[in-house]
Amino acid sequence: MSMHDSRGYDVKPKTGDLFPWFALQVRSRCEAGVANHLHGQGFERFLPLYRLRKRWSDRIKEVEVPLFPGYLFCRFDPHDRLPVLKTPGVMQIVGFRNGPAPVDESEVLALQTLVAAGAPHQPWPFLATGERVRIESGPLLGLEGILIEVKSSHRLVLSVTLLQRSVAVEIDSAFVQPLGSGVARPLPKTEARLPTLPVTV
């Protein structure tokens, strides 16, 4: 049974019989529409958002925009991917020459935990190395990532290795437990440009 966050996006518990998560590249500004289409077809999908302050002519307005513009996540059987590829707005499935590449389950779960907690977060340059920590208290309990210091404040950086994208959330350093220095798995040089699976099947 699916659970839903405050924005209606599916959040399922991690179980062994679910298909992997995949990243879909979609047309610009069509992320929410594609997510709704996929939901209507019965697919579990996840579109992480964040709040962005935009200046209009007479005011500043806070809006929700995709955390990774042009991408969203979806669970499906990679051997039966045609319904996903035929969804309006879907351009391709992120992968390599031998086919779609699944996204690390723990990375998507960490993003879901972050979004569900409602903690302010924002896109961040991809980090490959740094001091890895685990949050030991509060709504982000259990999250692991790289700890950085920015202007006397501390932030936890979570990454999606396949997309080479990261997100940062401000945290209280008193609530973290060091895990030792870690290295995010880099993509091989031949795959660094994220070759993708074409829509044509």
Distance CA 162, CA 49 (A): 18
End-to-end CA distance of the chain: 31
- 113 shares a domain with 96: no
Tell me: the pLDDT tens digits for 102-119? 999 999 999 999 999 999
Task: For residue 53, give both structure tokens.
Answer: 């302050």
* 193, part of any domain: no
Residue 121 sits in a domain whose CATH number is 2.30.30
Q: How far is CA 2 from the centre of its chain?
A: 18
Distance CA 180, CA 158 (A): 16
Q: What are phi and psi of 118, to 5 degrees?
A: 75, 15
Length of the chain as a residue count:
201
**Residue 169, amino acid:** V
Pseudo-torsion of CA 157, 159, 165, 168, nearest 10°?
Answer: -20
Q: What is the domain count for the chain?
A: 2
Distance CA 105, CA 20 (A): 7
Distance CA 186, CA 49 (A): 25
Least confident of 29-38, 110-119, 171-180: 171-180
Distance CA 50, CA 164 (A): 18
Q: How many alpha carbons fall within 13 Å on the CB side of residue 81?
A: 26
Question: At residue 58, does pLDDT exceed 50?
Answer: yes
- 98 shares a domain with 125: no
Distance CA 20, CA 75 (A): 6
- pLDDT at position 55: 82
End residue of a domain, out of 54, 80, 103: 103
Q: How far is CA 164 from the centre of its chain?
A: 11
- Structural domain of 152: 104-182
What 3-state class would DSSP assign to 112?
helix
Tell me: the pLDDT tens digits for 69-85? 999 999 999 999 999 99
- 145 shares a domain with 66: no
Question: At residue 187, does pLDDT exceed 90?
Answer: no
* 194, part of any domain: no
